[in-house]
Structure 1
Amino acid sequence: MRIMNLKVSNVNFTNEFNWLFKLVDFEKNEFLIMDDYFYKSNNLKSPISRIHIDTLDIGQTVNCHYKIINETKIVTSFI
């Protein structure tokens, strides 16, 4: 598990994609916060609570833990 300071770059609350938030680091590497189904399928607990959904917005910075799953950087918890 790795720690990063990430900035929210995009938000998705549609069924078009299986991610809810896209985040980037200072080098523009992409990290994803996925939907609940993804976390359950990978035996992980979703890092998103109602407070996160209500407060996270484009441009906001957060400290996160992440794992690489299927070559994708996935946020697993907030610090």
Structure 2
Amino acid sequence: MIALARTMYNGHLERRPGELLDTARFSDPEAIEEHLLAGFVPAIYCPVPPNGSTPPAAGPARGTRNAPNAGSATSLTT
């Protein structure tokens, strides 16, 4: 469960690990485990980087190295 908690809360500014201490919400260890399991996948596949920065701009798509207007890259076929 420690790994789940670390993944869910580490670097995610909008999430607060202190919420796990709320005995009204989490009355037993199973409730905490259920909460952590439910948040695990969304934490891993978060559309916004956890530090709140914007994602880097995408580079050229694969296979475009020799395409017209693909920049100044040299051709690998010469």
Greater Rg by CA: 2
Pick 1 or 2: higher relative contact order, CA cutoff 8 A, min separation 6. Answer: 1
Instruction: Name the structure where helix makes up a greater proportion of residues.
Output: 2
What TM-score comes out, normalization by structure 1 length? 0.25
